[in-house]
């Protein structure tokens, strides 16, 4: 989640620092994997031409014996946006989509709506005006029917973008939900059918597929953070509703083929010119994002990270040198504890020769999480204290006494509003979405908000509910 945690794709761009990493990929995994709490990972490295290698470590499910291999499928999260963007560009080259046409020209539900003037280029490049929060506020992972993309598009069409289209860049899942529906309408195929037939099969991605709402035993199992540990998801579920923005399921070996195809400079699944356009700035207000790819002009990388409940991924290419790396882990990061960012970035840096100096201290993130987790405990202890000192509380009188009794209620209500309303906005995700990706954090937020108010009410109850004589 990084923004869900807002904009997880930006993390890699700002993490790279001027220090050449030392040691092999395998020795680095030996050091870093235990600290991340990741049950399993797979990676692939490609070099110029047909050279590629892949590796894996750990297990599909914590406590199990099934080993991760380079052919094990993982949910790739927002790396999926590059597949959706590629599909749109195929339809552009087929003359079926105009990049600068308004979405209302293709999707009737957007006609006359505030979002109707957004162009296809703006959707692809996150300059539509939809905010990160709007894109994360609803994860419709329970929606699985064949009309889910039509339903999502109709719901989004009623929203007013947070900003005027084309005026600023802000990452938002809403853009790619709309594009998923656009692909269906323009191609006349289902999203799954189009991506499978026009991208996965031609590239040779035999161990990859589009999330279809079914369980898949061959997948790695996702693990979510739980107060310093990782808990496996009950099932290897996939969710059709998230497919365009985060639901491509792929193996590390298959992603190596995908990277090679994107960097080969040939006309195949897309023209060489079209691939280059995808990996170039989309507009003046999108200098670091193309179509489905983040761009770092300083080191020439094109990349995207991904986060799904229980999974985190990173795919990075250096097109000018035809080299790249993919890293897939079957665990989501906690806050400060059990983060996989250094694991993913460190493998990538060693694989393709990037400068990287690690993430540095995570003290403040850890302190924030510990404080949030301890708040409910503190309130429970305070309730016990209030009951044991009830006589002292009941003896309070006068203006100062009333203030000391009632003021905590006001402050805890204020704290609850901050925790339940403003903290999710800081995370750029709704509270249910935070709970979906980081259940420990979600529980701590709700518990702290509820028990704070309950403690204040309990104190008042102790004072004003005196025993009968």
Tell me the domain boundaries of the chain. 16-352, 363-464
Quick one: pLDDT band at residue 468, thresholds 50, 70, 90?
Answer: low
Fold of 16-352: Beta-lactamase (3.40.710)
Residues 309-331 pLDDT 10s: 999 999 999 999 999 999 999 99
CA distance 251 to 25: 18
Predicted pLDDT of residue 21:
65
- Mean pLDDT for 299-305 is 96
CA distance 279 to 258: 14
CA distance 303 to 294: 5
Residues 95-150 pLDDT 10s: 999 999 999 999 999 999 999 999 999 999 999 999 999 998 764 444 556 689 99
Q: Is residue 7 scored above 80 in pLDDT? A: no
CA distance 78 to 59: 23
Sheet (strand 311-318) strand order: 52-58, 40-46, 323-329, 311-318, 301-308, 294-296
User: Model pTM?
Assistant: 0.91
Predicted pLDDT of residue 264:
95
Q: Would you say 305 and 4 are in contact if contact means Cβ atoms under 8 Å apart?
A: no
Residues 45-64 pLDDT 10s: 999 867 789 999 999 999 99
């Amino acid at each position: 989640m990084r923004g869900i945690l807002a904009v997880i794709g930006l993390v890699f761009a700002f993490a790279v620092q001027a220090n050449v990493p030392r040691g092999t990929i395998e020795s680095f995994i030996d050091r870093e994997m235990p600290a991340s709490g990741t049950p399993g990972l797979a990676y692939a490295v490609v070099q110029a031409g047909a050279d590629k290698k892949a590796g894996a470590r750990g297990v599909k499910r914590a406590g199990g014996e099934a080993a991760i291999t380079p052919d094990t499928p993982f949910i790739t999260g927002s790396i999926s946006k590059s597949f959706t963007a590629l599909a749109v560009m195929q339809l552009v080259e087929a003359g079926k989509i105009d990049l600068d046409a308004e979405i209302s020209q293709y999707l009737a539900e957007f006609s006359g709506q505030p979002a109707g003037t957004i162009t296809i280029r703006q959707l692809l490049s996150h300059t539509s005006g939809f905010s990160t929060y709007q894109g994360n506020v609803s994860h419709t992972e329970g929606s699985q029917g064949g009309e889910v993309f039509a339903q999502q598009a109709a719901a989004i069409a009623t929203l007013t973008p947070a900003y005027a289209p084309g005026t600023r860049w802000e990452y938002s899942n809403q853009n790619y939900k709309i594009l998923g529906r656009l692909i269906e309408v323009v191609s006349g195929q289902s999203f799954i059918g189009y991506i499978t037939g026009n991208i996965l099969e031609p590239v040779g991605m035999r161990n990859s597929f589009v999330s279809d709402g079914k369980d898949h035993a061959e997948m790695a199992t996702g693990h979510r953070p739980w107060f310093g540990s990782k808990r496996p998801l009950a099932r290897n579920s996939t969710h059709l509703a998230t497919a365009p923005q985060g639901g491509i399921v792929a193996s590390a070996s298959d992603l190596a083929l995908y990277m090679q195809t994107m960097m080969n400079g040939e006309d195949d699944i897309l023209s060489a010119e079209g691939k280059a356009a995808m990996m170039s700035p989309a507009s003046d207000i999108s200098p670091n994002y193309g179509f489905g790819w983040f761009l770092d002009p300083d080191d020439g990388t094109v990349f995207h990270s991904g986060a799904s409940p229980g999974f985190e991924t990173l795919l990075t290419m250096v097109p000018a040198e035809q080299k790249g790396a993919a890293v897939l882990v079957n665990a989501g990061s906690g806050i400060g504890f059990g983060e996989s960012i250094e694991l993913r970035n460190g493998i990538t840096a060693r694989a393709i020769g990037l400068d990287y100096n690690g993430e540095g201290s995570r003290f403040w993130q850890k302190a924030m999480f510990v404080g949030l987790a301890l708040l409910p405990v503190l309130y429970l202890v305070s309730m016990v204290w209030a009951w044991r000192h009830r006589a002292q509380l009941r003896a309070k009188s006068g203006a100062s006494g009333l203030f000391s009794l009632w003021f905590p209620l006001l402050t805890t209500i204020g704290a609850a509003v901050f925790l339940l309303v403003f903290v999710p906005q800081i995370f750029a995700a709704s509270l249910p979405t935070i709970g979906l990706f980081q259940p420990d954090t979600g529980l701590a937020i709700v518990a702290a908000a509820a028990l704070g108010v309950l403690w204040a009410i309990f104190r008042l109850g102790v004072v004003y509910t005196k025993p009968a004589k």
